[in-house]
């Protein structure tokens, strides 16, 4: 159980275009989803936290207008990289947590397989 998928797994786009990445919790409903970014051979950096039905909370230094996050349901969050540029090329990973309806707090984050974005 607790499977998180991401689509697409990799994408190549031209500079100036927008790319949407989907994160889905397949067998559970998550109240909270996180978006991370990982540059080659570096650690994961949290970009934003999104709770279902509310606006995402962005980390310092992350451009809200460039990285649009929508968390419309308990099983789906999307990250849209708008007007992508080569410096946006990275590995984007989502995680889902906070099982909806759980009677006890749950602390696990379940990670998706990641999406590799290359902007040419």
Partner 1 sequence: AQKVTQAQTEISVVEKEDVTLDCVYETRDTTYYLFWYKQPPSGELVFLIRRNSFDEQNEISGRYSWNFQKSTSSFNFTITASQVVDSAVYFCALSEAPSTGFQKLVFGTGTRLLVSP
| Number of residues lying near partner 1 (CB under 8 A) | 26
Residue that is written with structure tokens 């990670």 in the block: 111
Q: Where are the alpha helices (DSSP H) in 26-112?
A: none
Q: Is the dihedral of CA 100, 102, 107, 110 positive or negative?
A: negative
Q: Which lies closer to partner 1 via its Cβ, residue 7 or residue 82?
A: 7
Closest separation between CB of residue 83 and partner 1, Å? 25
Whether 117 contacts 89, CB under 8 Å: yes
- Using CB under 8 A as the binding rule, whether residue 60 contacts partner 1 is answered as no
Q: CA-to-CA distance for 9 and 30, rounded, in angstroms?
A: 21
The Cα-based distances of 42 to 45, 58, 64, 98, 109 in angstroms read 9, 20, 22, 27, 20
Member of 51, 70, 80, 82 binding partner 1 (CB under 8 A): 51
- Using CB under 8 A as the binding rule, whether residue 111 contacts partner 1 is answered as yes
Closest separation between CB of residue 34 and partner 1, Å? 6
Pattern of binders to partner 1 over 21-50, x per CB under 8 A?
----------xx-x------xxxxxx--x-
Give residues in contact with partner 1 (CB under 8 A).
Answer: 31-32, 34, 41-46, 49, 51, 91, 93, 95, 97-98, 105, 107-114, 116
């Amino acid at each position: 159980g607790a499977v998180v998928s991401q689509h697409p797994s990799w994408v190549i786009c031209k500079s100036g275009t927008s790319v949407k990445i989907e994160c889905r919790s397949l067998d559970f409903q998550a109240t909270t989803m996180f978006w991370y970014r990982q540059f080659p051979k570096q650690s994961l950096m949290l970009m934003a936290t999104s709770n279902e039905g509310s606006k995402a909370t962005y980390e310092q230094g992350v451009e809200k207008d460039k990285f649009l996050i929508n968390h419309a349901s308990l099983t789906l969050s999307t990250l849209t990289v708008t007007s992508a540029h080569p410096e946006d090329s990275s590995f984007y990973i989502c995680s889902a947590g906070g099982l909806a309806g759980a009677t006890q707090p749950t602390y696990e984050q379940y990670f998706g397989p990641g999406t590799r974005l290359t902007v040419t």
